[in-house]
Structure 1
Amino acid sequence: MASFIGKCILVSAVMFFGVLLGMQQANNGMLEMKGYKDPDLKGALSFSEGEAKEASILGHQIDLEEKQKELEQLEAFNFFSSAGRALADTVTNSARSLYDWIKEKTD
Structure 2
Amino acid sequence: MKMFMLKSIVIAALMFIAVLTGMELANNGIHKMKGYDDPNFQNAVSINENGQQLNATFLGDEITSHDLEAKKKKLEEISAYNFFSSMGKKMSEGLTTASEKLIELITD
Tell me which interval the TM-score lies in, with the shorter structure as reference length: 0.5 to 0.7
Q: Deviations over 1:41-95 (max 9, x none)?
A: 3211112233433221233323331232222231234332232122111101101
Could you tell me which residue of structure 1 aligns to residue 37 of structure 2? 38
Could you tell me which residue of structure 2 aligns to residue 7 of structure 1? none
- Residue identity matched to 1:60: D
Partner of 1:49, secondary structure, is: strand
- Residue identity matched to 2:100: R
Could you tell me which residue of structure 1 aligns to residue 107 of structure 2? 103
**2: CA distance, partners of 1:47 / 1:85:** 34
Of the structure 1 ranges 70-79 and 92-101, higher mean CA displacement relative to structure 2 is found in: 70-79
CA radius of gyration, larger in: 1
Identity %: 24
Q: Which runs of 5+ in 1 are unaligned?
A: 1-26
Aligned residues: CA RMSD: 3.0
Partner of 1:43, secondary structure, is: coil
Shift of 1:97: 0.4
Could you tell me which residue of structure 2 aligns to residue 64 of structure 1? 65
**2: CA distance, partners of 1:38 / 1:88:** 51
Could you tell me which residue of structure 1 aligns to residue 94 of structure 2? 90
Q: Structure 1 segments of 4 or more deviating over 4 A?
A: 27-30
Q: Which runs of 5+ in 2 are unaligned?
A: 1-23
**2: CA distance, partners of 1:103 / 1:67:** 48
> Contact 1:43 / 1:58 at 8 angstroms: preserved in 2?
yes
Task: With the length of structure 1 as denominator, give the TM-score of the two structures.
Answer: 0.53
**Equivalent residues, number:** 78
